[in-house]
Amino acid sequence: AALPAVVLAAGLLLAACRWLRGAVRPRRGGSMRGKTVIITGANSGLGRAAAAELLRMRARVIMGCRDRARAELAAREIRAEVGERGDGEGELVVRELDLASLRSVRAFCHRVLQEESRLDVLINNAGIFQCPYMKTEDGFEMQFGVNHLGHFLLTNLLLGLLKNSAPSRIVVVSSKLYKYGEINFEDLNSEISYNKSFCYSRSKLANILFARELARRLEGTGVTVNSLHPGIVRTNLGRHVNIPLLAKPLFNLVSWAFFKTPLEGAQTSIYLASSPDVEGVSGKYFGDCKEEELLPKAMDDLVARKLWDISEVMVGLLK
């Protein structure tokens, strides 16, 4: 009799936790009317949630996604949820963008520069998490290639438009797991050794160092750059993580109770993209819409500059 009682009590506790989390309504920012926002990986998870909220705030949202069919489906669903007025006040646009292909990144940016007169916010959101060892189209280790190098090239190619649209913002989605990463310049491509967890953490540390160095380079331009961690969120980012079949029910219950929903996880991205509270703030790291401290290795300016220089060569911006 004791075991069912314990299970029932645990279930009620988890349900209460979920109810309390759901009772906290996300903070809605001000109007984004007349502003254009690019979000990478906007067809699911954090990116989809951010796209819906920014559309609700009347932004023109460009969804940069690898799978066009899935992105079009997500866009239709978001329009049905939020509404799209078609009068220039809130618009959703789908554009193909594969961050595992520098050719695709260049084609995406070329189209944006041809079609868009302004770019107010760039949200570098897309990512791949703890995948088996594989390489991008250009021969880079997948996590470093997508999470860092693809966004590095994307941001650099769009910098001119961002500067011309100033004041404008760049938002870089990182992770608290950066704490377990190291920038090993002798093996950035993980050809000597590969650990999927450490390599993910390395890519997230690279995101923060990139944002820090970019903020330094953009001082005085009116373009701000900030990085963030969204917390632990229930998304499909963990599709490469193997959970034993017997443990899945428990994992699903725990994640339902304690993990953030995509909308909750996207709040800091939305805050940094839209809030007047962070106007002019640059080079900082945020969590739960508040500035947070970084470990010293994420504030190492020498490493940040060296990583920038090497990344420029890797993506072909410099010979």
3 located within any domain: no
6 located within any domain: no
What pTM was computed for the model? 0.87
pLDDT at residue 310, as a whole number: 98
Q: Which residues, 6 or more positions from 177, have their beta carbon under 8 angstroms from its beta carbon?
A: 197, 200, 201, 204
pLDDT at residue 234, as a whole number: 56
11 located within any domain: no
Q: Catalytic residue among 178, 200, 271, 285, which?
A: 200
75 located within any domain: yes
Asked if 288 and 230 touch (Cβ cutoff 8 Å), the reply is no
23 located within any domain: no
Domain region containing 154: 28-315
The letter for the amino acid at 264 is E
212 located within any domain: yes
Total domains in the chain come to: 1
Three-state DSSP class for residue 37 = strand
pLDDT at residue 83, as a whole number: 75
How distant is the alpha carbon of residue 32 from its chain centre? 19
List, in sequence order, the alpha helices (H) in the chain.
2-23, 45-56, 68-82, 102-115, 142-144, 151-164, 196-217, 248-258, 262-265, 267-274, 301-314
pLDDT at residue 259, as a whole number: 61
pLDDT at residue 228, as a whole number: 98
Give the pairing type, strands 284-287 and 168-173: unpaired
The answer to whether 178 is a known catalytic residue is no
pLDDT at residue 250, as a whole number: 45
Q: How far apart are CA 256 and CA 258, in angstroms?
A: 6
pLDDT at residue 16, as a whole number: 47
267 located within any domain: yes
pLDDT at residue 247, as a whole number: 47
Residues making up the chain, counted from first to last:
319
Cis peptide before 167 (omega within 30 of 0): yes
How confident is the chain (319 residues) per 10-residue block, as mean pLDDT? 48 48 50 96 96 97 97 97 72 98 98 98 97 97 98 98 98 97 96 96 98 98 98 60 50 51 96 98 98 98 98 95
The CATH number of the domain holding residue 123 is 3.40.50.720
pLDDT at residue 143, as a whole number: 98
Asked if 128 and 196 touch (Cβ cutoff 8 Å), the reply is no
